[in-house]
Amino acid sequence: MVQLQQKGWEPLVDLRQVIDNLPEATTAPLRFTYSGLVTTTEYAEANFETLLRFTSVLYRLIDDLQSDAEATAARFVDYLNDYTGTEITAAELAGTFDAIYSLRNFDEAKDFYLDSSDPFFYDSVAQANLAVLAEQGVIGKGHTPDELSIAGKVYTTLVRYRKEADKALAAAPDGDLKKQAQEQYNARNYLDAYRLAAAAQ
């Protein structure tokens, strides 16, 4: 699809047009277009801080893609081609994030997780898809998004650590620990940014 569009082809209808022009109840399952981490409950409970750090890496990668998509794609395109047997270019890989995938950086994700009026609001879209799966007999009825996903918990925890890091960085004296804390903060690793800044005080 991306290759066709880069050769001048234009889609007649895209997902956003469908969402904007059909009733919300009809399109809710279509808005389940995001992906995420898959793990066991046991691993998540025992390694929650690891998941926070891993998620920070994803948000840092999104920052890079939004800053310079083609240069970022160039770092991964050889691996992708070797792994999948494809022969796409860095420009084509970068193009997927305009034509197919929609990225939200850490700040933009706030609406996704916290704004119920957002058309892609996590809870509403997940509820709609759980209902479809239950109707198909894939899962039982009555499940809630938070039963099956900790995505919201991961995001709100990172938000909390960022607020704590802001306060700790403001209070910390200049020095190596504060410098390390700021580096982690800039890399979206708010957990370790907070801990380093708190230790610097």
Query: Quick check: is 193 in a domain?
Result: no
Q: Dump pLDDT digits (tens) for 45-79.
A: 999 999 999 999 999 999 999 999 999 999 999 99
* Cβ proximity of 114 and 124 under 8 Å: no
CA–CA distance, 114 with 153 (Å, rounded to integer): 11
Query: Quick check: is 146 in a domain?
Result: yes
Query: Quick check: is 190 in a domain?
Result: no
Q: What are 189's two structure tokens? A: 């690793």
| Sign of the Cα pseudo-torsion (136, 138, 139, 144, in order) | negative
* Domain, as residue range, for 99: 2-150
Query: Quick check: is 161 in a domain?
Result: no
Query: Quick check: is 103 in a domain?
Result: yes
CA–CA distance, 189 with 187 (Å, rounded to integer): 5
Question: Please, which pLDDT band fits residue 122 given cuts at 50, 70 and 90?
Answer: confident
* Helix 190-200 vs helix 48-67: crossing angle, to nearest 10: 110
Query: Quick check: is 80 in a domain?
Result: yes
95 Cβ neighbours under 8 A, 6+ residues apart: 2, 5, 6
Query: Quick check: is 45 in a domain?
Result: yes
CA–CA distance, 138 with 118 (Å, rounded to integer): 27
Looking at residues 97-122, what average pLDDT do you find? Answer: 82
pTM: 0.81
CA–CA distance, 27 with 144 (Å, rounded to integer): 19
Overall number of domains in the chain: 1
Query: Quick check: is 20 in a domain?
Result: yes
